Amino acid sequence: MTAITQFESSIAAADQLVAIYFELRHSRNLGQRGRLDVGNTDLLSLPRAAVVASMSALDAYVHAVLYERIPLALKSNPVPDSLCELMSSAIPIRNGNSFRDAIPLLVAQDSLAELSAKIKERTLAFLSYQAPEKIIAAYELIGHDNVFERVADLWPGPATEAEDIKRNLAAYAKRRNQIAHEGDHDANGHPRAMQPQYAQGCRNFIAGLVTRLNRVAFNV
């Protein structure tokens, strides 16, 4: 499964969650629009979950790109500086014992593939790629600097300059964290307002962003 195919499968969860929200409104005779009363605010967990699903789909996509492209970047000339720094942490040979531990990697038939697998297991698997600065750093590893400028060049229409895109992504990432870590409650314990249109906007923005990130990563 390619990175973009995996993303399309993942982002479908956001579509399904929003669709279920509207189905439940209909089944409760609430209509398609309008504020929910206290007894039906449980439905708002669905668009909130859709925001989390959209951001998770982005995160999974960037991971998939790195896992596929890092072995190729290691064979490029020159290898990106940030990738060299990252890879050096996988083979910290400082003494005889650490050299002995590194021997299986050094003598492997495809040492670069082994090194890529090790850095994936030790480092990349624990990183999150949702905030703009994280995605910038990820794409630098595979030789694409200024990735949001590249994305902006591929994204016509208003509010699609690099700074606009980064600002929108940062806002969605912040809301995702508020939902995931704070139950989407403000400092006073009150739930933040949520509309399904917000979740749909997040989903569409992430889909547009990933489409263009994919064109940058794979030159398509």
- Indicate if the pLDDT at residue 4 is higher than 80: yes
pLDDT, tens digit (0-9, with 9 covering 90-100), for 122-164: 899 999 999 999 999 999 999 999 999 999 999 999 999 999 9
| Distance in angstroms (rounded) separating the CA atoms of residues 18 and 88 | 44
- Indicate if the pLDDT at residue 105 is higher than 80: no
Q: For the chain, what is the mean pLDDT? A: 90
SS (H, E, C) 137-180: HHHHHCCCCCHHHHHHHCCCCCCCCHHHHHHHHHHHHHHHHHHH
| Distance in angstroms (rounded) separating the CA atoms of residues 120 and 118 | 5
**Residue boundaries of the structural domains of the chain:** 3-218
On the 0-12 / 13-18 / 19+ scale of CB atoms within 10 A, 190 is: exposed
- Indicate if the pLDDT at residue 198 is higher than 80: yes
pLDDT band for position 106 (50/70/90)?
low
How would you classify residue 3: left for phi > 0, otherwise alpha for psi between -120 and 50, otherwise beta?
A: alpha
Proportion of the chain above pLDDT 90, given as a percent: 64
- Asked whether the whole model's pTM tops 0.85, one would answer yes
The pLDDT, as a whole number, for residue 37 is 73
The pLDDT, as a whole number, for residue 168 is 98
pLDDT, tens digit (0-9, with 9 covering 90-100), for 90-100: 776 677 776 67
The pLDDT, as a whole number, for residue 219 is 87
185 - beta bridge partners?
191
- Indicate if the pLDDT at residue 66 is higher than 90: yes
